[in-house]
Each structure stands twice: as structure tokens, then as C-alpha cells.
Amino acid sequence: MTNPNYHQWPAKMQNEYDKTAKKIQKYGHTIKGIKDVRHFAYTLGASFSTGAEFLSFFPLGGEGLSTIGGVMNRIIRLVKDGGLTLNSQILNNESVYYLPIGMVVLTDDIKDMAESEWAGQLQRDAFLAEFSTDDHQLFLLLASDKDGNLPWEPECGNYWPDICPPRLVAIAQEILTDDDDFLMRKSKDDDDYYTTVRGVRYPMLAELSPQDMIKAYEMGVKEWSARFPKGNYELLLATLTSLFKNEVVVTRVMNNNFMYFDINNISESFKDDFPNDLFDPDDKTRSSFFDGKKE
């Protein structure tokens, strides 16, 4: 199938359309991974065989996309084979994933909001709209922490309560548990959990390593911003300055992402990660940085 507007599109859109069509023709669906302020992935094409598409907020660095993509693929396969009924539930099924997965069908108004803000190509006026059904359901998949605690649970550790937008976590909690205290607890917890250094709120989960930040600094704001127009150079530079001044420290977390902490406010579950050598620039790099920031 070819969109009637195909020949009016720029080459980049045509290429995206062609790649999507080939993957769906070969596999029945495809998975889009988006690295923005939030990392997330969603399916296109699954609704032709299951009636549903799937959205999940998940760190996509390293093997992240293949991990959540594998979860989606296994859910779709189970549904197609009759081994799983699509409804809101907590999946404790090792054939899907070795940790619990929350699975929630979104109501039409929340579905429209989620597709408008994140899963854009599932909207009916998107240029890839033909690769999902007009009446598809949208299921939100929520990952648990390493101990199996889901994001709304008070015991859920590390960065997992913050991966998914709080409003969606709250909706999932209410649907799956009949409780609705997540947003209230999160507001209180955030006051205790987060601190601000040089205008940046920590802890902060990022795909960029300290070495990536140093390379960005060495490029300078103009070159880096041209390469990464959605990037926030001011935030990057503030974090790098805090690293050099020993105000902020960093550790590696799941799927080769990085968690940055205010050195005076390191979460208990990460204290054993420090000290480490993830940020250990040589004297030349230190001197260059303190001689003046590049413009």
C-alpha cells in the first residue's frame, strides 16, 4: 500500500514510510523507539492482528529498545496464539518478562492524549496512520524495578517511578489496584528526593555519559546544537560544570544509561556505587574546561 500523498513528501518522510511498510509486511508490526525528554517505544501494525497497539516508557540506551521491544513482541505473539487475553492486568509471566509488567488499556480520552503527546504516528491524521487500525485500543506497559515493584508502589526504587509520566502511572494504579495515592505520595516524596544544583534537578537519568558531555563541550554550543537540535546544551553544560566542581556524581544504570546525583543527596540504593571512575578527566581536559567555556 502507498499513501496517495507519498510523492508530495520530502525524502525523509518517504524513507520512514518505506521502512515502516517493509517491516510490517515482514513481521506484522514494527516498534518505534523515541529518545526525547522521556524515552518511550510504541508499536505500529499490531492492531491488525490483535486490535491493539502498545506504548511503554523505558530507558532506550544500550539494549533498552531490544528489551522492551522483546516484551512487546512476546505479548503480541501470545495474544495471536490465544495464550493471553488483552485486558488490564499485571503480567507475572516469565514467557513475557522475568519481572512483573503492568498492562493497562487506556480510555479514549487518555489514549488521545498519549498519542498526541508521545505515540504520534498512531493518530488518525499522522502520515503513518494507515499502519494501525482506526479503532485500535492502546495499552500502556509499565516496567517494574529489579525487585519486581511497580512504579506506583512505595518500595519501587531507583528511577522507575519517574520513567513514565506520573498521570499515566496514577491511572494504572487506580485501574489495577483500586488505590489512588500515587500522585499525593509522589508530590511529597519529590520534595524530599530531589535537589537542584546550578538550575538542574537531581537525580537525573540521562543517556549521555560524562565522556559524551565532554565531547559536547569540546564541540561548542553551535556545532553541538546543530547536530542535536532537540538537545539542551545549557543543562548539559551546567551538569558538566557540577561534575568538574565535584558537586554532582554519576553512576551507570540499566541498559547503559547514566544517573547523575547531587553529591549531598545520593539515594540509599545507589550509595554503594560510589566512588567510581566514570568521571575522571585528565589534567589537560580540566585545565581546558576551567580556562573558559566554549561558545
For residues 110 and 157, membership in a common domain is answered with: yes
For residues 156 and 51, membership in a common domain is answered with: yes
* DSSP secondary structure code for residue 120 in this structure: G
Supply angle C-alpha 128, 129, 133, rounded to 5.
135
For residues 169 and 241, membership in a common domain is answered with: no
In angstroms, the CA 146 to CA 52 distance is 28
Characterize the bridge pairing of strands 30-35 and 39-44.
Answer: antiparallel
Q: What is the pLDDT of residue 168?
A: 96
Q: What is the pLDDT of residue 294?
A: 46
Q: What is the pLDDT of residue 206?
A: 87
Say whether pTM exceeds 0.85: no
Number of domains in the chain: 2
Q: C-alpha grid cell for residue 7?
A: 510523492
In the chain, what is the straight-line distance between the N-terminal and C-terminal CA atoms, in Å?
48
Q: Specify if 1 maps to a domain.
A: no
Q: What is the pLDDT of residue 44?
A: 98
Could you identify the residue written with the cell 546544551?
Answer: 233
For residues 145 and 215, membership in a common domain is answered with: no
For residues 32 and 143, membership in a common domain is answered with: yes
Q: Which domain holds residue 149?
A: 6-188
For residues 184 and 199, membership in a common domain is answered with: no
CA dihedral 227, 228, 229, 231 (to 10 degrees): -150
Q: Specify if 34 maps to a domain.
A: yes
For residues 257 and 204, membership in a common domain is answered with: yes
In angstroms, the CA 201 to CA 195 distance is 6
For residues 66 and 84, membership in a common domain is answered with: yes
The rounded Cα 263 to chain-centroid distance in angstroms is 25
**Segment holding 6, helix H or strand E:** none
In angstroms, the CA 174 to CA 180 distance is 5
User: Which residues in 21-62 belong to E strands, given as ranges?
Assistant: 30-35, 39-44, 52-57
For residues 287 and 153, membership in a common domain is answered with: no
Encode 184-198: b = buried (16+ Cβ within 10 Å), e = exposed.
Answer: eebeeeeeeeeeebb
**Segment holding 291, helix H or strand E:** helix 283-291
For residues 159 and 286, membership in a common domain is answered with: no
Q: pLDDT truncated to tens, each residue of the chain (295 aa)?
A: 578 889 999 999 999 999 999 999 999 999 999 988 789 999 999 999 999 999 999 998 889 999 999 999 999 999 999 999 999 999 999 999 999 999 999 999 999 999 999 999 999 999 999 999 999 999 999 999 999 999 999 999 878 888 999 999 999 999 999 998 998 887 766 666 788 999 998 988 888 999 999 999 999 999 999 998 888 999 999 999 999 999 999 998 876 789 899 999 987 778 889 999 999 999 988 888 887 654 4
